[in-house]
Amino acid sequence: MLFPHLRHDLRLPAEEEALAGRPEPAFPLAGRHAVLGTPLAGPYPEGLAVADFGLGCFWGAERRFWQTPGVWTTLAGYQGGHTPNPTYEEVCSGLTGHTEAVRVVYDPSLVPYTALLKLFWESHDPTQGFRQGNDRGTQYRSAVYTHSPEHQAEAEASRDAYQSVLRGSGYGAITTEIRPAGPFYPAEEYHQQYLEKNPTGYCGIGGTGVSCPVGIAPADGN
């Protein structure tokens, strides 16, 4: 076992408790998306926007977004924690503070941010805390990491709208973390577009079946 001190109490570590990490990535990032053929790493072409989401295991989550018209590229990674340049094993230890995340690079003239928010909410159960289905751990928490004050406001408004309809369907409080994006660390090569490379691989993504009243009509802006 790499980490005999694995966290079992399902709480996020304080910064001083987190693993030290490293100043440089522990592994290289693949050049191009296995489905879309676009570069994974930035800088991205002018006119595109970036959105970051955590909704459980990033294998299935990434596929939901790369299948969306208007999305230019996607990549799996780690976000929301303390440890710089973590590895998958370190994230799974519960000692980095990261969640499994998907970076979505998209053309806002083709797909508005509100439509991505709608897909995010409907693709998982955002009321489960440090869990998503059978996947249990702080790395499976629900999160939206925003890249502008406008997106922060839209994400919070979408949460409030979805909370109302979820309560009407018998669900509890949304536990989704919504805050400005910090560093995004790409995951290892084998995680990138995993379900394209492994079509029968595990996908733990599943929604509540409750429609989100957000992004149904196109919105102005990114």
Catalytic residues: 57
Contacts 24+ apart (CB under 8 A), 23-32: 23/84, 23/85, 24/85, 25/85, 25/185, 25/186, 26/85, 26/87, 27/87, 27/188, 27/189, 28/189, 29/75, 29/186, 29/189, 29/192, 30/189, 30/192
With the C-alpha atoms ordered 107, 150, 57, 208, is the resulting torsion angle positive or negative?
Answer: negative
